[in-house]
Amino acid sequence: MHARWTPDTFRRLAQSFEDGGLFVQARLLRARASMRELGREQLEARKAVIRKALASRDPSLLEKMGDACEQAGMTVAAGKMRVHARALRDAAQIASSKSSKDVA
């Protein structure tokens, strides 16, 4: 988003979306407004949690974290979590398939 987008700008836009019946989008815009109001320490703490989660090898954890990120308006981080979870599941499935072929 553009640097001039203040929390109030996000909230006004969210109200317009809500008035148009776009409730999910309005909720995300409000979450973004709240995120803009966080202090540097809080943002850094969130980034550290995201980095730690992305280092995980547990797809279920990554999907839960993705949901949490989505709820907080961090859609890019949510997408990364979900892509990583899918990749881990795909890799496990390939490894399982390969090992069952080796046994046969």
User: DSSP string spanning 37-67?
Assistant: TS-HHHHHHHHHHHHHHHT---HHHHHHHHH
Tell me which residue range forms the domain holding 72. Answer: 47-104
- 98 and 65 part of one domain: yes
31 and 56 housed in the same domain: no
Cβ contact 65:81 at 8 Å:
yes
> 98 in a domain, yes or no?
yes
| Confidence at residue 104, expressed as pLDDT on a 0 to 100 scale | 54
Tokens of 63: 């999907």
pLDDT at 5: 86
Q: What is the pTM of this model?
A: 0.71
Q: Is residue 88 part of a domain?
A: yes
Co-location of 89 and 58 in the same domain: yes
Question: In this structure, which amino acid lies at residue 15?
Answer: Q
In a domain, 42, yes or no: no
Whole-number pLDDT of residue 87 = 94
Which residues in the chain land under pLDDT 50? Answer: none
